[in-house]
Amino acid sequence: MDVTHLDAKTDCWIAYDEFGPEKIVEVYDPATGMRGFVVVDNTALGPGKGGIRMTRSVTAGEVSKLARTMTWKCAMAELPFGGAKGGMVLPAEAEKDPAKKEIMVRAYARAMKAVCPRYWVAAPDINSGEEEMRWFATENGSMQACTGKPADMGGIPHELGSTGFGVYHSTVVALEHMGIPLKGATVAIEGFGNVSTFAAKYLSDAGAKIVAVSDSKGLIHNADGLDIAKLMRVKADTGAVNNYTPGDAMPKEKLFELGVDVLIPGAMPDVVTAQTCCDVRARIIVEAANIPIKPEVEKTMAARGVLIVPDFVANAGGVISSYVEYAGGTPEQMFKEVEQRVRKNTQLVLDKAKKEKKFTRDAAMEIAQERVRKAMQMQGR
């Protein structure tokens, strides 16, 4: 039976069902004032995998939803991981003072030894990166306590762009599925951070035409295609993609109205809404960001013939990279694993959706849930 519980610190409900969550651990250290928690959603396939969100307002309800997303993402990528997510309440003074932050992260790591790494393998998330993972791993005493560590600790650098590389391969499969040649295919990309930058680079190098890119400051559009290497320099030098020339600088919202083969939302959640989805003219949407479009809005667009590759299928490159690091692999092995796994499972989802006349997210969820259920049944759960 599905039940829900309202997190007392927020309006966010924690849902309980046949899959989990298995553990919700809350910790507090009086000496440092550290307060945090972890939600281990499901461990049927392996220890729960998920990052540590460090914000002033993070709650168990918030990370519970993210932990469930990780359950499906890891299952979809066929990794020996379940889903989990950590949270540490980060006071303003610790956000500004690295020494204070280190003290709190180390206190959090010590408190979580009871569940990490046996039930949970941590990773970076908001306000946490390589250095925070160094502190976490050394305080925990195990290099397998987290991924996203610095290279000198066996980490695979985030700057290699594993998530964007996976989005590129997912896009290639989607184009093939729709019978659209990769060379010359037109692409519009929302966001120009780590994920979207690498997706743009790989697609451009393969012959696709990146005609528009947006960031928080605006949008640059050129129907003849953008020079991605030049765009990266402009963004680094000026802080805004709309300073690129030649091209038309436009409001960032206009990105979603462009008539392109592929739209890649790669930054913010809920960027296409029930009110704006009818303006979308792309033939394919590959979701590089997490939850860029709510499922009910996706269905509205799918009914109009738009092919949508769901987020937890397309953007699994990051967690695949984490698995390779966890297993002691190399960057070269990481790229091979991301390509193979993302291509295979994108194709599997699109074929299932077409054959069974299903919405793509529903098809992906059925595959992921079946993999988790099978593992649970084999363990007698």
The reply to whether 124 and 224 lie within a common domain is no
What is the model's pLDDT at position 292?
Answer: 93
Provide the domain count of the chain: 2
The reply to whether 105 and 254 lie within a common domain is no
Q: For residue 1, is pLDDT > 60?
A: no
85 is catalytic: yes
The reply to whether 125 and 171 lie within a common domain is no
Residues 59-86, mean pLDDT to the nearest whole number: 95
Structural domain for 8, as ranges: 3-70+80-154
209-265 pLDDT tens trace: 999 999 999 999 999 999 999 999 999 999 999 999 999 999 999 999 999 999 999
What is the model's pLDDT at position 4?
Answer: 54
Decide if 378 is inside a domain: no
The reply to whether 7 and 115 lie within a common domain is yes
Residues 97-109, mean pLDDT to the nearest whole number: 97
Which candidate in 9, 65, 73, 85 is catalytic? 85
What is the model's pLDDT at position 15?
Answer: 86
Q: For residue 2, is pLDDT > 60?
A: no
Residues 100-110, mean pLDDT to the nearest whole number: 97
What is the model's pLDDT at position 224?
Answer: 97
135-167 pLDDT tens trace: 999 999 999 999 999 999 999 987 789 999 999
Q: Give 10's pLDDT tier (boundaries 50, 70, 90).
A: very low
Q: How far apart are CA 193 and CA 316, in angstroms?
A: 17
The reply to whether 132 and 239 lie within a common domain is no
What is the model's pLDDT at position 143?
Answer: 95
Amino acid at 63: V
The reply to whether 236 and 322 lie within a common domain is yes
**Helix, strand or coil, per DSSP, at residue 202:** helix
Q: For residue 131, is pLDDT > 50?
A: yes
The reply to whether 179 and 122 lie within a common domain is no
What is the model's pLDDT at position 341?
Answer: 98
Residues 28-49, mean pLDDT to the nearest whole number: 97
Write down the mean pLDDT value for the chain: 94
The DSSP output letter for 292 is S
Decide if 75 is inside a domain: no
Decide if 308 is inside a domain: yes
Decide if 338 is inside a domain: no
Instruction: Specify the pTM.
Output: 0.92
The reply to whether 224 and 264 lie within a common domain is yes
The reply to whether 198 and 111 lie within a common domain is no
CA-nearest of 266, 263, 213 to 242 is 213
The reply to whether 169 and 132 lie within a common domain is no
Number of residues that this document lists for the chain: 381
What is the model's pLDDT at position 8?
Answer: 47
Q: Count the neighbouring beta carbons within 10 Å of the beta carbon of residue 212.
A: 27
Q: How far apart are CA 265 and CA 180, in angstroms?
A: 20
326-361 pLDDT tens trace: 999 999 999 999 999 999 999 999 999 999 999 999
Least confidently predicted of 5-9, 25-29, 178-182, 313-317: 5-9
Q: Give 283's pLDDT tier (boundaries 50, 70, 90).
A: very high
Decide if 358 is inside a domain: yes
The reply to whether 193 and 271 lie within a common domain is yes
What is the model's pLDDT at position 159?
Answer: 79
The reply to whether 106 and 199 lie within a common domain is no
Residue spans of alpha helices (H) in the chain: 60-76, 92-96, 98-111, 130-140, 162-178, 194-205, 228-238, 295-302, 311-314, 317-326, 331-355, 360-378
